[in-house]
Amino acid sequence: MSMAENRESIPLLTPYKMGNFDLSHRVVLAPMTRLRSYNSIAQPHAALYYSQRTTKGGFLISEPSGISDTAQGYPNTPGIWTRQHIEAWKPIVKAVHDKGGIFFCQIWHVGRVSNYDFQPNGNPPISSTDKPIQMESGMGGSVFPPPHRLTADEIPHLVHDFRLAAKHSIEAGFDGVEIHAAAGYLIDQFLKDQVNDRSNDYGGSLENRCRFPLEIVKAISQEIGSHRVGIRISPFADAYGCEDSNPDALGLYMAEALTKHDILYCHVIGPEKKETKNCLLPMRTAFKGTFIAAGGYDRDSGNNVVCSDEADLVAFGRLFLANPDLPRRFELHSFINKYDSSTFWSNDPVVGYTDYPFLEADSSTHD
């Protein structure tokens, strides 16, 4: 059977209108830290990496870019807080646009997931708390130091940094931004009650713990328009000790609050070993914009979540990393390249980055 004869019409490959953006399919490139932006500057090799994974009408989310010089916690992650950062991203964004893709910049601050080496003047990292992470870091096995607990007067400066990063992202040519509020980083450190031990306006109640992220959402929406704003959250995760005693309530509160801000999309990382409908459906119902699900999906589970209307789009990370032509492989029900986790976070500009093979024109297909 030829490849043309084996093409399938599947839910993941149906068109979708996300606000002002006309998507040709529902397979999203998830944001993934790649550690190949030397000295915090996005590199030319990223243009090839992202353009390889671009299809006309496809939606891509960049690796996280730091909002300020205090935002870094890993080597060679890109920034978006200086003019040099903006200029470095421009040709990368152009490479995606030249192939008809829609490209959002994920912006982040790692908070306490850092150490003195990454901070200006060797200062401690910042967080909602002064409690350190109780684990060794991936940065040479060093121990995470106690962070500086942000004061109420310092928090507006962080909101401003996020606002400025969003402005810079648009200047670099991105179509919008995704606020990284997941995976144990700064915003998540405010959201989760097992980390946030504050007793002021930014801690304690669910409303107070969500105040900081919602102030960021409001500020960025005012700066670039809510139609260009998405957010990624992970209420069910416990990354870097960021866990919540009632993740269902946290997720639902955020979904309802985000709807009031009329942002473009809500991107939720669900637990990989739990039925999506059991945990994400209340959030999906409460949020009135585009809902993106992530968390270990494959072709079948991705199709199921779209077919059952539990999500509008599905984000793929490791599968998309190892299969730059993932939508085509899904369409042809072709074999899937296996990813090599040992190269996920190397600094090699080719190996494990742009060297994963594409399907050949005459490749065979199989279930």
Nearest to 190 by CA among 229, 145, 147: 147
Q: Which residues face 231 on adjacent strands?
A: 179, 266
Q: Is 241 left (phi over 0), alpha (psi -120 to 50) or beta?
A: left
**Rounded-to-integer distance, Cα 319 and Cα 32, Å:** 11
Neighbours of 255 (CB within 10 A): 23
Partnered with residue 265 across adjacent β-strands are 230, 290
Please choose, from the candidates 53, 12, 57, the residue with its C-alpha nearest in 3D space to the C-alpha of residue 30: 53
Selected catalytic residue, list 74, 185, 253, 297: 185
CA–CA distances in Å: residue 309 to residues 12, 288, 303, 313: 11, 13, 10, 10
- For this structure, is 185 an active site residue? yes
Strand-pair partners of 177:
105, 229
Give the C-alpha separation, 243 to 174, whole Å: 32
Residue 71 backbone dihedrals phi, psi, to 5 degrees: -85, -10
CA 348 to chain centroid, in Å, comes to 22
The per-type count for the chain, helices as H runs and strands as E runs, is: 12, 13
Provide the residue type at 2 as one letter.
S
**Of 100, 89, 27, 97, residue with least CA distance to 64:** 89
How far is Cα 58 from Cα 36, in angstroms, rounded to an integer?
23
Give me the phi and psi of 216, to 5 degrees please: -65, -45
Q: Which residues are catalytic?
A: 185
